[in-house]
A = this chain, B = another copy of it.
Amino acid sequence: MELTNAIRIERNQLERYCTAILEKAGLSAKDAALSVKVLVSADARNIPSHGVGRIMRYINGLQCHQMLPGAKPQVLRETPVSITLDAQGAMGFPVSVRTMQTVIAKAEKTGMACGSVRNSNHFGIAGYYAMMALEHDMIGVAMTNTAALGVPTFGRDVMFGTNPLAFCAPGNKEKAFVLDMATTTVPRGKVEVYDRNGKELPSGWAVDASGHPASNAGTVLRDMLDRRGGGLLPLGGFGELFSGYKGYGLAVMVDILCAMLSGAPTGPDVADTEETSARVSHFFAAIKIAAFTDPVQFRDEMDQMLAKLKNTPRAEGCKRVYVPGEKEFEAEQFNQIHGIPVDHKTFDTLLALGKQFQIPEPLTAK
């Protein structure tokens, strides 16, 4: 559970410190705090790829006016069960938290609701927003499209993002079921790790510029960056043998709910330009369990199902069978006590930012 070589910081201190930085970078106090909650939640759940290690990207985005701190999201259409928003280039976290709050409030009254948001920015881990539904006895859903990185079955150019989808349902003693997954086999970050370690890519992660399975991680990354062809494969991998067309279909499904419903660009048209960041779109949904069944009974039955999955006989040589979200809940419990882990490079970046912005808050290893 413990990350190696991490510096551990008390959660509240890390949140206050990073909030102060994002305020100095231009966000309102409220928006900064909302954004940091999401970022630190990723680190707390041992998903550092989406945590405070990314803070420089957001600061750069704010300073280059790619993410607009003063943007006022505009309601395009609204009904008792739905809302369509144009985020107007706002920071992704605050508009996403507020949209999910709206969706939950609507679902509380009606039984279920959805929200589709265009013209936004990177919103961190999808699971954060889905999980907001749990304490309201609701099933939560969150999705986002991303800059295009994924190649359709039999294709060779990127035509969709890693397009993650999150789905969660509350348990009782067992906390919750939390699925939070990219619809590509792996995210770009995993290919970067293979590149750094000089390892050959497993066949089924990516294709090269000709559309054949790629083995060289560095070539894939450079070709993707320059849009010379090639990219990540959808969940299920190359061709049809392992049903890669299913992951491809799921990725497009996410694009339809996020971007088609909100009237935004999809697929390869979601990209960074010199003027703006990739203006991504999101989708949120909440389903009130009481509209279908007794929530107490639902939670108890969730417990039973999750316990059965955890206690199922293991494959020879395997230690545990996990349920989706279990590793992350355990990490959060551990890190809440021992401190949120950040790597040395991130710690140094945060210290330098504190100096640059003259942040009075301390940042100290626990």
Is there contact, CB below 8 Å, between B202 and A155? no
Q: What is the interface residue range for chain A against chain B?
A: 35 or more
Given the interface contacts A77-B291, A211-B314, A256-B169, does A245 sit within 8 Å of B154 by beta carbon? no
Tell me, in angstroms, the Cα distance from A316 to B309 when the chains sit together. 43
Contact with B along A112-125 (1 / 0, CB 8 A): 11101000000000
Q: Does A204 contact B (CB under 8 A)?
A: yes
Q: Does A225 contact B (CB under 8 A)?
A: no
A192 to chain B, nearest CB (A): 17
Is there contact, CB below 8 Å, between B262 and A292? yes
Sorted nearest first, the 10 A-B pairs with minimum C-beta distance are A211-B315, A179-B249, A82-B291, A154-B318, A249-B324, A81-B111, A261-B292, A181-B246, A210-B316, A155-B321
Q: Does A129 contact B (CB under 8 A)?
A: no
Q: Does A268 contact B (CB under 8 A)?
A: yes
Other-chain contact of A316, B80, B159, B211, B301 (Cβ < 8 Å): B211
Other-chain contact of A315, B110, B207, B317 (Cβ < 8 Å): B207
Interface segment among A89-97, A235-243, A334-342: the answer is A235-243
Q: Does A248 contact B (CB under 8 A)?
A: yes
Tell me, in angstroms, the Cα distance from A185 to B243 when the chains sit together. 6
Those of A204-241 within 8 Å (CB) of chain B? 204-205, 207, 210-212, 229, 235-237, 241
Q: Does A102 contact B (CB under 8 A)?
A: no
Given the interface contacts A235-B236, A243-B186, A324-B245, does A315 sit within 8 Å of B156 by beta carbon? yes
A183 to chain B, nearest CB (A): 8
Shortest Cβ distance from A190 into B: residue:
B243
Residues of A in contact with B (beta carbons under 8 Å apart): 76-77, 79-82, 84, 110-114, 116, 139, 152-157, 159, 167, 169, 177, 179, 181, 185-186, 202, 204-205, 207, 210-212, 229, 235-237, 241-243, 245-250, 252-253, 255-257, 260-263, 266-268, 287, 289, 291-293, 297-298, 301-302, 305, 308-309, 312-324
Is there contact, CB below 8 Å, between B252 and A246? no
**Further 15 A-B residue pairs, CB within 8 A, beyond A229-B313, A235-B236, A255-B305:** A80-B111, A81-B112, A82-B292, A152-B321, A154-B320, A154-B322, A156-B312, A169-B260, A177-B256, A185-B236, A205-B242, A237-B242, A261-B289, A266-B305, A267-B308
Is there contact, CB below 8 Å, between A267 and B305? yes
